Structure formats: C-alpha cells, structure tokens
Structure 1
Amino acid sequence: MSRLIPEWNLITESNPKSPISEGYRILRTNIEFSTIDQSLQVIMVTSSKPNEGKSTTSANMAVAFAQANKRVLLIDADLRKPSQHHIFGQSNRSGLTSALFKQKDLHEVIQHTNTENLSVIHAGPTPPNPSELLSSKQMATLLATTRDMFDVIIIDTPPILSVTDAQIVATQSDGVVLVIDSGRVKKDEALKAKASLGHVNAKLIGVVLNNINRKNSDAYSYYYEDVNEA
C-alpha cells in the first residue's frame, strides 16, 4: 500500500465527502461536458508560475475521474520539479524518463495507487533535456499507446511561463486546464499564460482559481469564462 505524505493534500481520496472534494467532482463534470463534438481524453494541467497548486489539482482531478469508474492515467511530465511521487508516496526511481529513454518498458513504469482505476507514471530521473524529451517521437508513441489503455489521461506539466515544456505537451493534448492562484498571480500574468497556450493553438477548456478570498469559500473554484473576465 502506498503511503501519503501528510504535507500533500489528496483530499478526494482522504475525505471524499468534503466540500472541496465535491468541487473536484464538479470540475470533472464540467470538463466532461465542456465540448460536445470532441472527446477530451488527454487533459494537460499547468499554471502560470510555480506553487499555484497545479500538481495537487492534477492528482485530485485524476482521483475524481477514477471515482467515476474511468480508467485513469496520471502522468507527471514536470521533469524539472516533479511532485506526484510525493503526493502518492511512491518511488520516483523510474518513470516517464525511463520509458522515453527506453530503459524500462511502459508497463514497468505504470504504478497502481490506492484509488481503484487510477494509475500513475511518475517523472523518473531528471533528464538533461526535458523539452527535447517531451517533444520526441517516443513521447508521441507513449501517448498513442496509453490512449488505447485508459479512458482519461491527465498530464501534470511545469508552469507555462517558466519553460517551453507545457507548450510542447499542450500540442499533444485534447484540452488544457490552467490553474491560477488568485492571491498571487496578477491579471497580466494570467493573460500571458493564456497567450502562451494560444501561440500553440492549445484548447483551453477552463481555469481553476485557487485561494479565492470570499466568505464560505472552499479556496477552490472553476470557471469557463475567458481569462480576461476571470
């Protein structure tokens, strides 16, 4: 059994009846119904800058989809500062980089979690060339293979304003969720993040606002509105 490290909050697993867990289920439902004509199977999660909650959001989204009886794969593609192995209390000795460098077979780097239907590929050892690795043919092949294995694939990527990695992964994804800390990120930074996604024709399906300062807030909210209005 994997052990959760206390400082990381996987609330959808530890307290599924909480209001915040319900918020993640609402997020899941909104994503499922955000497009009519196109399937959203591969969903990328990013933020404008570090420490906005993108990794926690990715993990809780993955659990929420798995709780809806979807076969879910969570991929930690933040190869520079990975977090998912901390959240799930698992080993990061091998992972995405191991598979992309062909040091391990795909099935060897997919780890099961305490949540039924949820599997994870952790980042693995830090490579010298994260951007090149994420844009490689091996990455495209891995995503094509896992599309046949899972109903939903959620990819945790680095902040989009920090490095090009998120833009690269966005071109391989069906939709993008942008996580913004409303207490730290200024409007112009949010607009820059949105513009960066637009430069690669990424489909922005929603924005998660963390730490909203309002009465009775669960410090979590999800919006469809344009970032100009958020």
Structure 2
Amino acid sequence: MARFKDSGVSEVVPSAAGPAEGREGTVVDRSIGSIIAETRHLSADQVERILAHQRDKGLRFGEAAIALGFASTDDVLFALAQQFHYPYAPQVGSKLGAELVALSQPFSEQAEVFRGIRSQLTMRLDGESERNRRALAVVSPDSGDGKTFFSANLAVTLAQLGGRTLLIDADLRGPRLHELFNVPNAAGLSSVLSGRSEAQVIQPVAGVSSLFVLPAGPTPPNPLELVERPAFALLVREVLMKFDHVVVDTPAGVYGADCTVIAARCGAALLLARKDQSQLDALQGLAALVKASAAQIAGVIVNEH
C-alpha cells in the first residue's frame, strides 16, 4: 500500500429480457444480475431462486448468487467492471503477478489508494499545453523501495481511465517490468538508445487495451551513458505526442546518477520512500538532485507495501 504526501455499489435486479431499452430505443447498460446470469449461464429457475434468497435475506443479487453457489466473487467483480466499463482481468492479473493489484484486484483497498494518487497526480500534471507536457519518472534512494511495484500499478490505474498509457522500464541495471507484465525483453529501451533498429519494442498489455510497456531490453554495460544520450530525450518527446500518460521506472539512486538524468529528461519526478526503511537524509539528498536537474517534483510517496 502507498500513501500520498504533499511535498459498495448498489445492484439492480436482473431482467429476463436482457438489456433494457430507453424511450428513444437506445440500449441501456444491463444490471449486474443479468451480466452474472449470462456469464454463468444461469437458468430462469436458478435466477428465481437467487431473487427469492435476495428478498428473504435482504442481500444484493451478487451476494445472494454467491451464497447459493451460483456465482463466485470474481463473477460479481467482473459484472461490476462490465457495468461500469472498468478493465478487470483477474485471470490475466494472476498470470502477470500478484504485484499488479490494480489489475487483478481493482476494487481492493490497495487499488483504491493508487486511484487516489492517480487523481492527485493528474490534477498536478494534466492541463499542460502539448508543448509543455512531461513524462513522470518514479525515483527512490535505494533498491527495494518499491519503484517497480508503484510504477506498474500507477500505469494500470492511468490506463483504466481510458487514456493511452505507456510504461517505460528505464532501469537498465535491474529491469523487472517485462517479468511483471509477461512481455518479451529481447529488445527494448537499450536497443533503441544504442541505435539498433527493432520492430515492435512497445508491447500491449493483455487485459488493459490502453496500456503499453516499453521493456528495458538487454542489460547494457553503459546504462548511464545511454540515458544521457540525446536519443533518450528525443524518445520521451516522441512518446509524449503519442500517449496520454507516460510513466518511467528508474534505477535506485544508490546506483548512480541514472535516475536524476532520467527525471531531467522526463520533466517531472515522483519521489518514493519505503516506510521504516528509507533514510531521511538519503531522500532529501535525492530530492535536491532532482530539483537541481530542473525536473518538477510532483510529490512524495511513502510506500507501505
């Protein structure tokens, strides 16, 4: 779980007729109950039994269906997601890894925290002119602070708003995003920055149609030199024209100047600290370096995960 520091849905009884039609003949969103009934191929008799249990116990349709064994919790969450047009992929999320809570558990407390952080960040960074738009680098003093966990879930929540979101793995020293999202890593950022022409280095993420990942690619012997090259600044400028949101994972500050160079190229940085682990002087030192790079500090996150 993360905290941002500055510096139940009601259900409708299903209709046997399926999707309802409005007065003008337009199709209205189906109830959660009708979605569950269709997903689980429930018979009319089973639906009636659920409705009777719902009335007798004062439950919601989904709760009654679970109680009678006609549906699972995942079925109800899927129905909620369908009704509110919200990306939900429990089966995909389980394959990608437990860390992607915003994808596999979008209605959990942790996911809600990420949505709150997303809201504050978009208020701070959105509304800029196209010319002044910035990518967001996630930086922290030490390894194990949770940058990759945070970057990945923030990107998922941004994509769940519907805007095209790109997550870049610029941690060329110890990349992990390709593992979390199960995308190929034979080519990636290091390939682009070293001048090797590669096709389809930006990979779509299954389960979230508007989320894309640019993996780190092969680990280079000169990561700092690669991100210092003009090619990286040009790449950031190019992807900002093609994506609504760009989030960049970085190496820990303890490994050198990579993260501050990346933050300068991105234009904005979010500082991450680990609760009961990060040293205040290390965090303050990193903040000073980022500020000196002319990158805007969008906020400070205390990671409790």
Structure number with greater CO (CA < 8 Å, separation at least 6) is 1
Alignment check: 8 A CA contact 2:232 2:265 kept: no
Query: What is the rounded CA distance, in whole Å, between the counterparts of 1:17 and 1:128 in structure 2?
Result: 42
Alignment check: 8 A CA contact 1:160 1:196 kept: no
1:97 matched to 2:190? The reply is yes
- 2:122 partner letter: E
Query: Residue in 2 aligned with 1:19?
Result: 109
Cα displacement string for residues 129-170 of structure 1 (whole angstroms, at most 9, x for unaligned residues): 111110112212211221111011111011123211111111
Alignment of 1:108-187 (within 5 A): 108-114=200-206, 115-187=208-280
The structure with the larger Rg is: 2
Alignment check: 8 A CA contact 1:110 1:121 kept: yes
Q: 1:124 to 1:36 in 2, by over 3 A?
A: closer
Query: Residue in 1 aligned with 2:301?
Result: 208
What SS is found at the alignment partner of 1:193? helix
- 2:204 partner letter: H
Cα displacement string for residues 32-73 of structure 1 (whole angstroms, at most 9, x for unaligned residues): 112577465411001110001001100001000000011001
Higher helix share: 2
- 1:99 partner letter: V
If the length of structure 2 is used for normalisation, what is the TM-score?
A: 0.65
Query: What is the rounded CA distance, in whole Å, between the counterparts of 1:36 and 1:166 in structure 2?
Result: 23
Alignment check: 8 A CA contact 1:157 1:166 kept: yes
1:68 matched to 2:171? The reply is no
Gaps of 5+ in 1: 212-218, 220-230
Alignment check: 8 A CA contact 1:2 1:113 kept: no
Query: What is the rounded CA distance, in whole Å, between the counterparts of 1:35 and 1:24 in structure 2?
Result: 16
Further displaced range: 31-40 or 64-73: 31-40
Alignment check: 8 A CA contact 2:166 2:243 kept: yes
Q: Please provide the CA RMSD for this pair.
A: 1.9
Query: What is the rounded CA distance, in whole Å, between the counterparts of 2:181 and 2:112 in structure 1?
Result: 20
In percent, how many aligned pairs have the same letter?
Answer: 32
Gaps of 5+ in 2: 1-91
Query: What is the rounded CA distance, in whole Å, between the counterparts of 2:93 and 2:156 in structure 1?
Result: 15
Alignment check: 8 A CA contact 1:43 1:155 kept: yes
How far the C-alpha of 1:87 sits from its partner, in A, is 0.9
Alignment check: 8 A CA contact 1:134 1:165 kept: yes
Show structure 1 runs of 4+ deviating over 3 A.
Answer: 1-6, 35-41
Query: What is the rounded CA distance, in whole Å, between the counterparts of 2:175 and 2:95 in structure 1?
Result: 16
1:31 matched to 2:121? The reply is yes
Query: What is the rounded CA distance, in whole Å, between the counterparts of 1:166 and 1:85 in structure 2?
Result: 19
How far the C-alpha of 1:4 sits from its partner, in A, is 3.4
How far the C-alpha of 1:200 sits from its partner, in A, is 1.3
Query: What is the rounded CA distance, in whole Å, between the counterparts of 2:146 and 2:126 in structure 1?
Result: 28
Further displaced range: 138-147 or 125-134: 138-147
Q: 1:31 to 1:147 in 2, by over 3 A?
A: same
Alignment check: 8 A CA contact 2:236 2:266 kept: no
How far the C-alpha of 1:191 sits from its partner, in A, is 1.2
How far the C-alpha of 1:3 sits from its partner, in A, is 7.3
Q: 1:160 to 1:142 in 2, by over 3 A?
A: same
